[in-house]
Structure 1
Amino acid sequence: MEVLEVKGLKKHIGNRQIIKNIDFSIKEGEIFGFLGPNGAGKTTTIRMLVGLIAPSSGNIKIAGHDIGAERERALSNVGAVVENPELYTYLSGRENLMQIARVRNIPKEDIEQIIEMVNLKERIDDKVKKYSLGMKQRLGLALALLAKPRLLILDEPTNGLDPSGILDFREIVKNVARKNGTAVFISSHMLSEVQQLCDTVAFINDGVIKSVESIEDGTIKNDTEIYTLITKDSSNTAEILKGCNAVTEVQQQENEFTIAIKHDSSHLVLKLLIENGIDVKEIFKKHQELEERYMELVEGGRRL
């Protein structure tokens, strides 16, 4: 089931169009990354998702409720950590959680489950002013999760965290998505984190979503796959590759070729080369890193 549906979303500020007709959706249990340079439209999109500003046109539905027509019902399904979480530093972690729990009538057992989930059990009764940045981020996440939201929105959640803090945060978010079926929207500039954490990534630039793509085992799933090929006969190899329908791009450096092949078609290319008497010394797939895809879509050039 789609927890978040965004269709035809636009936002004008004065005469400037910030968001230009974007569409995307997030399913239950899906971790969705939102990538783009500064000024691409990430923050404006988040502000619309959490109801801080209204779209100029288009629709945002959260758990089936339109944020324009059913604002309160829609936003009741959202938990968010945007920038630094607002915490009462003179209170303990538990007291911070209790402030929200009392207002929302959240039972004590639910609070204990959340404390366990974010790995704060040993320090939950300490004053927040004694917390590290990573612990404050985890407490902010706990506050966002108290009401068991269907959609969790995180804006640069690992900013300033050390490697250990990043690892902890990553595992917590994965557990939230897997165990609770929570849809997670993460806006981040840390490409490596998105690659290791997310199931899907949207690339946004200049208010336009350039592509929405799947990530599997830390690798972008794409229509084409990049291979390195080494042969003994470079001139004939180049001619055959350029005439092959399964090959979309060829780069050559002496007897080494970097080629883009249509998905699941590498066996056809290899068969064609062998049938034409080409001595293939080596062929292997290059797993496309998120950074490479980012450069291709946002910076405007593929780096084979």
Structure 2
Amino acid sequence: MNVLEVKGVKKRLGKREIIKDLNLTVEEGEIFGFLGPNGAGKTTTIRMLVGLIAQNEGDISICGHSVQKDKEEALRYVGAVVENPELYKYLSGRENLMQIARIRGVSKEEVEELIELVGLKDRINDKVRKYSLGMKQRLGLAAALIGNPKLLILDEPTNGLDPSGILDFRDIVKKAAKEKGMSVFISSHILSEVQNLCDRVAFINKGIIQSVEKISDNSVETELDSLTLKVAKDEVKAVTILKTLGNVRDAQIKENEIHIIIEFGSTNIVLKELINKNIEVEEIYRNRSELEQRYMELVEGGMR
């Protein structure tokens, strides 16, 4: 079941098109990462998902309900932390949560479970104005989880957290997704956290999704292969040949090695072509596809 479906969504500000034909789905219990540089359209997308702004074209549906046509019903399934959590600083952490719990008809027992889950038990009765930024992030996450939403939307949720706080946050999100069958849509600029946390990731740039790929064993499952090869001589000639091949996306010389990006499964074709052109290949091996490398390929226009 798809908890979130985004179909043909476009968003314009004046004459400028910010989001261009956005399509994606998030399945039940899936943790879905959303990556891109500043200005790529991440925040605009999230603001549309939670109904803060409307798209110009296309449709966004949550649990089968259109955000544009049936906003109240669609957002009933959503918990979100967008930018900085909105909290009453003059109230305690517990009082903030109970305000939301009363509106949503949630029991005090469930609130206590969430306080335990996000690790605020020792400070929950303090006024929020005394909280650090990291503590506010934890409280905001607890608030978003009230009512057991089907979809949790998080925009840069680890801002202000120290390394141990980031690890705790990762465990909280994984536990929520696994135990509650909750889907998570998370936008973050910390690539290592996305790689350790997410099941799939979408790369967005200039309002267009460049690719949506699975993450398995902390490695990206991609339609492209990253290879390193060493040749006996004529490295420049080898790169020139590689760049003429239709299944080679990029080829660069780095420290006496040639790094190439090719279509998945075409290694033998590339190797045969080099040999036919009298290039003596001494060594060739596949690189593990890390998220950082894939980000550079798709978003920054090539390898570094």
Give TM-score, length-normalised by structure 2: 0.85
Alignment-derived partner of residue 147 in structure 2: 147
Write out aligned runs for 1:205-224 (5 A): 205-224=205-224
CA RMSD, 1 decimal: 3.1
Query: Distance in 2 between the 1:12 and 1:267 partners?
Result: 45
* Contact 2:250 2:302 (8 Å CA) reproduced: no
The structural deviation recorded for 1:263 is 3.5
AA at the equivalent of 1:207: G
Query: Distance in 2 between the 1:283 and 1:232 partners?
Result: 12
Alignment-derived partner of residue 57 in structure 2: 57
Alignment-derived partner of residue 131 in structure 1: 131
- Aligned length, in residue pairs: 301
AA at the equivalent of 1:297: L
AA at the equivalent of 1:73: E
Alignment-derived partner of residue 36 in structure 1: 36
Distance verdict in 2 for CA 1:130–1:89, change over 3 Å: same
Query: Distance in 1 between the 2:270 and 2:211 partners?
Result: 27
User: SS state of the match for residue 215, structure 2?
Assistant: strand
AA at the equivalent of 1:187: S
Query: Distance in 2 between the 1:11 and 1:254 partners?
Result: 44
The structural deviation recorded for 1:246 is 8.0
Distance verdict in 2 for CA 1:144–1:16, change over 3 Å: same
Query: Distance in 2 between the 1:8 and 1:218 partners?
Result: 30
The structural deviation recorded for 1:123 is 2.4
Distance verdict in 2 for CA 1:254–1:169, change over 3 Å: closer
**Residues 77-108 of structure 1: CA deviation (Å, up to 9, x unaligned):** 01110111122223222211111111221012
AA at the equivalent of 1:184: V
* Contact 2:5 2:26 (8 Å CA) reproduced: yes
The structural deviation recorded for 1:163 is 1.6
The structural deviation recorded for 1:49 is 0.7
Write out aligned runs for 1:114-193 (5 A): 114-193=114-193
**Residues 221-263 of structure 1: CA deviation (Å, up to 9, x unaligned):** 111222323466878x959x96999876655579744344543
Query: Distance in 2 between the 1:254 and 1:139 partners?
Result: 48
Distance verdict in 2 for CA 1:292–1:88, change over 3 Å: same
User: SS state of the match for residue 167, structure 2?
Assistant: helix
* Contact 1:293 1:302 (8 Å CA) reproduced: no
* Contact 1:234 1:255 (8 Å CA) reproduced: no
Distance verdict in 2 for CA 1:90–1:252, change over 3 Å: closer
* Contact 1:29 1:184 (8 Å CA) reproduced: yes
**Residues 235-292 of structure 1: CA deviation (Å, up to 9, x unaligned):** 8x959x9699987665557974434454356689899999xxx998655432223222
The structural deviation recorded for 1:139 is 0.7
Query: Distance in 1 between the 2:203 and 2:2 partners?
Result: 20
Distance verdict in 2 for CA 1:273–1:149, change over 3 Å: same
**Residues 191-213 of structure 1: CA deviation (Å, up to 9, x unaligned):** 22222222211122221112112
User: SS state of the match for residue 211, structure 2?
Assistant: strand
Query: Distance in 2 between the 1:221 and 1:137 partners?
Result: 31
Alignment-derived partner of residue 198 in structure 2: 198
Distance verdict in 2 for CA 1:284–1:3, change over 3 Å: same
Query: Distance in 1 between the 2:211 and 2:78 partners?
Result: 25
AA at the equivalent of 1:286: N
* Contact 1:233 1:255 (8 Å CA) reproduced: no
Distance verdict in 2 for CA 1:123–1:57, change over 3 Å: same
AA at the equivalent of 2:42: K
User: SS state of the match for residue 195, structure 2?
Assistant: helix
Query: Distance in 2 between the 1:133 and 1:123 partners?
Result: 13
Query: Distance in 1 between the 2:71 and 2:213 partners?
Result: 29
Q: Does 1:67 align with 2:64?
A: no
Query: Distance in 2 between the 1:187 and 1:222 partners?
Result: 20
In structure 1, runs of 5+ residues without a counterpart are none
Alignment-derived partner of residue 76 in structure 1: 76
